[in-house]
């Protein structure tokens, strides 16, 4: 199954590279290109066998997947808990305020620290977590303005957003077809909404958990407890 995931991820990367984006988007990073070595290892580790649940994020964060190629890829989680290593190259155009340093990056991806922190607390060994769970991002691209400000996919104009959504919807359906999960859990409202659109007609339950972003006051009041409660209420965790 990891071979199938690798194949569709490669295809996704090629197709999104062919899309065009204009101002105020000035820089675009595709970690499926320059961080492919670690992403491929992640798919080999996480993509074995059918899953009970797939967690879906929006797109890479600047200090997570943009550095490591792993969704929500907080470096200690990727390096120490998952045991992944590898060389991360550079994007075609790099913003001076957003350098790609790979596993040497010293900054923390708070959302990733919270998400993988919860999973690693419940499952001390990564292989035990990945036996039933998989984590993906809806969109593989990072968008930045000239200032270095992050620009999320939902902020793109419709004529740029629609072709991107078509590609990402197709890839999400392929992930579900390969892994055959019972549940798709959107990490936040955007991911849940895109999953509901992309997976219409497929036999899968769609739920959500609170996004672990530090920009969310609710997440800052105790995200792990809130997310665990939501997963238990949806009878995904016991």
**Which contiguous run of DSSP H or E holds residue 27?**
strand 27-29
The answer to whether the CB of 185 falls within 8 A of the CB of 56 is yes
End-to-end CA distance of the chain: 27
Banded pLDDT at 1 (limits 50, 70, 90): confident
Contacts (Cβ under 8 Å, ≥6 apart) of 96: 148
- Where do the domains of the chain lie? 2-232
The superfamily in CATH containing domain 2-232 is Uracil-DNA glycosylase-like domain (3.40.470.10)
pTM attached to this predicted model: 0.97
- pLDDT tens digit string along 145-199? 999 999 999 999 999 999 999 999 999 999 999 999 999 999 999 999 999 999 9
Read off the tokens for 114: 């919270």
The answer to whether the CB of 45 falls within 8 A of the CB of 82 is yes
- At residue 89, does pLDDT exceed 80? yes
- At residue 2, does pLDDT exceed 90? no
- pLDDT tens digit string along 206-217? 999 999 999 999
Determine the Cα angle at 32 with ends 14 and 99, to 5°: 125
CB atoms within 10 A of CB 203: 8
Mean per-residue pLDDT for 89-102?
A: 96
DSSP E strands in 81-234: the ranges are 133-137, 142-144, 150-151, 183-187, 205-209
Query: How many angstroms separate the CA atoms of 43 and 45, rounded?
Result: 5
């Amino acid at each position: 199954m990891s071979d199938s995931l690798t194949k569709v991820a490669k295809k996704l990367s090629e197709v999104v590279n062919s899309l065009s984006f204009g101002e105020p988007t000035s820089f675009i990073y595709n970690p499926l290109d320059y961080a492919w070595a670690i992403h491929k290892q992640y798919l080999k580790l996480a993509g074995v066998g059918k899953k009970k649940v797939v967690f879906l994020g929006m797109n890479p964060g600047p200090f997570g997947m943009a550095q490591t190629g792993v969704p929500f890829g907080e470096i200690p989680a990727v390096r120490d808990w998952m045991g992944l290593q590898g060389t991360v190259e550079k994007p075609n155009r790099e913003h001076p305020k957003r350098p790609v340093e790979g596993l040497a990056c010293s900054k923390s991806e708070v959302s990733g620290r919270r998400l993988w922190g919860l999973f690693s607390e419940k499952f001390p060994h990564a292989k035990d977590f990945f036996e039933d769970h998989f984590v993906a991002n809806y969109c593989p691209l990072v968008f930045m303005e000239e200032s270095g400000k992050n620009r999320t996919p939902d902020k793109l104009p419709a004529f740029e957003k629609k072709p991107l959504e078509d590609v990402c919807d197709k890839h999400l359906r392929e992930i579900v077809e390969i892994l055959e999960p019972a549940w798709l859990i959107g990490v936040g409202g955007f991911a849940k909404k895109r999953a509901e659109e992309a997976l219409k007609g497929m036999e899968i339950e769609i739920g959500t958990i609170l996004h672990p972003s530090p920009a969310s006051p609710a997440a800052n009041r105790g995200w792990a407890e809130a997310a665990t409660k939501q997963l238990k209420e949806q009878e995904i965790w016991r």
